Amino acid sequence: MAAQGRLKIYTIDGVNVCDVVVDGEASVSTQNFIPGIYLAVVSGSAGDKSFKLIVE
């Protein structure tokens, strides 16, 4: 994903499992995530964008 700001990923019950500062291109490995549905939020100067992340 390409973004500037902060990327946070939460479990479905609100536990923060990832919190990184992003400056340009970023990749996050979900290899250690338990399969399920997560909420990813990118916060930056253009505002917040959120999306559903499904780990199988």
The residue-averaged pLDDT of 8-36 equals: 87
Q: Which two tokens stand for residue 55?
A: 């780990």
Predicted local distance difference test score (pLDDT) of residue 22? 79
Predicted local distance difference test score (pLDDT) of residue 55? 92
- Which residue shows structure tokens 């490995």? 29
The residue-averaged pLDDT of 16-36 equals: 84
Question: Chain-centre distance of CA 15, in angstroms?
Answer: 12
Tell whether the model's pLDDT for residue 9 goes beyond 90. yes
Cβ atoms within 10 Å, residue 38: 19
Residue type, 38: Y
Q: Which two tokens stand for residue 24?
A: 């340009």
Tell whether the model's pLDDT for residue 3 goes beyond 70. no
Local confidence band at 47 (pLDDT 50, 70, 90 cut-offs):
confident
